A and B are shown apart, each in its own frame.
Chain A
Amino acid sequence: MRMIYFVLHIIGKKALKFISESGGAFILVGKSLRSLSHLYKDRRLVIEQMLEIGVRSLPLVVTVGIFTGAVSAWQAAYQFQGILPLSYVGPATSKVIFIELGPVLTALVLAGRVGASIAAELGSMKVTEQIDALETLAIDPIRFLAMPRIVAATTMMPILVIFADFIALFGAFLVINMLLHVSAETFFNGVKSYFQVYDVISGLLKALVFGATTSIAGCYIGFQTSGGAEGVGRSTIKAFVVSSALILMNDYILAMFLF
């Protein structure tokens, strides 16, 4: 009996924590949306974050993109052996890049680069009382810190995914042309004939949602940080794990609606 009570107590406690944290994240989203009225005044903060989240992530996105394209082309060719001619590898790879791999892999990599770094930055500001300092200066931390990061991540993620898509396509082309000896003409004709704008748009829509969730998770977890340097470390890991999980969950939900 005591054991059942103990298990129920733990489940109840976890459920309450989940509800309270979800509520907290929704409040953060609501307050950030309300802060959008200051977007023009705070444009400098938003542009700084766009540089940090977008431009400075480009080397990582290029690296991830080129290898994603290359490996998916190579493995598609392996799976097509004896079933389909190699001329279909290009179109098949481009489809999977635009619909799934481009947005999801870019977002997962940026969950570490962006989500975790937002949580670490805001977390260390929290434990060193810099967030309290903003409050005492009558500056809303959500408007000053969270809103620019959420806006920047939400707008930059689709742009980064466009880069990742085309770099990945280039990676696939290199493998297909140089290692599988399919001509450039066959590759590009194949890609062109199976290309659908909707595939790219659906990928970008996913990227938009992934950018928003990654930054919201990073900001919320950062603001909740306590317990000094150890707490900052915990928040950083938590932001990465939560962002990654949310990306995969949202990917599934969006796939249900989009395809």
Chain B
Amino acid sequence: MIELVHLNKSYDSKPVLRDVNMTIERGKITVIIGRSGCGKSVLLKLILGLIKPDKGQVFVEGQEITTMGQEEIYKIRRKFGMLFQNAALFDSMTVEENMALPLIEHSDLPYDVIKKRVQEKLSMVGMPEVKDLKPAELSGGMRKRVGLARALMMEPEIVLYDEPTTGLDPIMADVINNIVIGFNENLGITSIVVTHDMGSVYKIADRVAMIQRGIVLFDGTPDALKKTKDPVVRQFIEGKAEGPIKINREIIYTRKEQEEKLL
């Protein structure tokens, strides 16, 4: 279980997350939605301990990670797998080397056993024959699936997905959604998915949280999300330009802010 308690994070004195409180339940798929730049990816980085909050605490399995040193946090991170938006595969390595790396670093397993595990995980994401290719030779969808397979190499309890379907065609997006559901149902993995793909939300989510301007505006089931009367949430889930979220005003606000910074 992961608990976020009164989390606050700012960049250049601009608040990104404001008093975020959330509990991520074990074995469930929690989806975090919100507009681009609303703080979703920052939230994932805080959960992983990649950045520290200005205020507040993050508890992973009851352990507070915000005050931990590097060695302790590395131990906690072995419980996690992460799929990055662009997969973040290491360019200079083949798919097999990418996937073998965490096991080479953290285990004493012989390379033959590691190779078998690489093959097993690649088969789980439906890509058994790409181990000798370099990331540059893979399409966007293939890269994401290899990224997913790499995230599973350490057999994590929790997997974080940063916009797993962004930039993919609808069929490949559905393949990724099915893989996420499969990991959850077959391996009992706790999943935290950051996305603004509403199709994915309704297909995979056990629970949805919406962040708007750094605040958790909605937290509930996908059914409750569909029925909500909150006009801001409705505008987002229906994908409407008109509504309480003023796009143009935000742009002017940002420019004004930049001008103030320059002065």
Residues of A near any B CB (own CB < 8 A)? 124-125, 128-130, 132-133, 135-140
Residues in B with CB closer than 8 Å to A135 are 48, 50, 77
- Interface residue B85 (Cβ < 8 Å from any Cβ of A): yes
Residues in B with CB closer than 8 Å to A138 are 74-75, 77-78, 102, 105-106
Instruction: Closest A residue to B154 by CB, please name it.
Output: A137
Complex Cα distance, B84 from A129, in Å, reads 8
Whether B102 and A137, one on each chain, are in contact in the complex, defined by CB atoms closer than 8 angstroms, is yes
Whether A132 and B90, one on each chain, are in contact in the complex, defined by CB atoms closer than 8 angstroms, is no
Residues in B with CB closer than 8 Å to A140 are 70, 74
Task: Pick 14 A–B contacts, CB within 8 A, sort by A.
Answer: A124-B91, A125-B91, A129-B84, A129-B88, A130-B91, A132-B84, A132-B88, A135-B77, A136-B48, A136-B50, A136-B77, A137-B101, A138-B106, A139-B102
Q: Which 9 A-B pairs have the closest CB atoms?
A: A133-B88, A138-B74, A129-B88, A136-B82, A138-B77, A137-B102, A129-B84, A130-B88, A138-B78
> In the complex, how many angstroms separate the beta carbon of A206 from the nearest chain B beta carbon?
31
- Interface residue B221 (Cβ < 8 Å from any Cβ of A): no
> In the complex, how many angstroms separate the beta carbon of A93 from the nearest chain B beta carbon?
42
Whether A137 and B91, one on each chain, are in contact in the complex, defined by CB atoms closer than 8 angstroms, is no
Residues A133 and B50 in contact in the complex (CB < 8 Å), given A138-B102, A138-B106: no
Counting contact residues on chain B (CB < 8 A from A), the size range is 20 to 34
Q: Is the interface of B mostly helix, strand, loop or mixed?
A: mixed
- Interface residue B80 (Cβ < 8 Å from any Cβ of A): yes
Whether A136 and B70, one on each chain, are in contact in the complex, defined by CB atoms closer than 8 angstroms, is no
- Interface residue B10 (Cβ < 8 Å from any Cβ of A): no
The number of residue pairs between A and B whose CB atoms lie closer than 8 Å in the complex comes to 49
Residues A133 and B90 in contact in the complex (CB < 8 Å), given A138-B102, A138-B106, A139-B102: yes
> In the complex, how many angstroms separate the beta carbon of A33 from the nearest chain B beta carbon?
15
- Interface residue B86 (Cβ < 8 Å from any Cβ of A): yes
Residues in A with CB closer than 8 Å to B77 are 135-138
Instruction: Closest A residue to B263 by CB, please name it.
Output: A6
Among A130, A133, A135, A137, find the residue whose CB has the most chain B CB atoms closer than 10 A. A137
Complex Cα distance, B91 from A124, in Å, reads 10
Whether B84 and A133, one on each chain, are in contact in the complex, defined by CB atoms closer than 8 angstroms, is yes
Whether B85 and A136, one on each chain, are in contact in the complex, defined by CB atoms closer than 8 angstroms, is no
Residues in B with CB closer than 8 Å to A125 are 90-91
Whether B48 and A139, one on each chain, are in contact in the complex, defined by CB atoms closer than 8 angstroms, is no
Among B74, B82, B88, find the residue whose CB has the most chain A CB atoms closer than 10 A. B88
Residues in A with CB closer than 8 Å to B70 are 140
Complex Cα distance, B82 from A129, in Å, reads 11
> In the complex, how many angstroms separate the beta carbon of A211 from the nearest chain B beta carbon?
22
Whether B78 and A128, one on each chain, are in contact in the complex, defined by CB atoms closer than 8 angstroms, is no
> In the complex, how many angstroms separate the beta carbon of A53 from the nearest chain B beta carbon?
15
Q: Mark B85-127, 1 if CB is under 8 A from A, else 0.
A: 1101111000000000110011000000000000000000000
Residues in A with CB closer than 8 Å to B45 are 132
> In the complex, how many angstroms separate the beta carbon of B149 from the nearest chain A beta carbon?
13
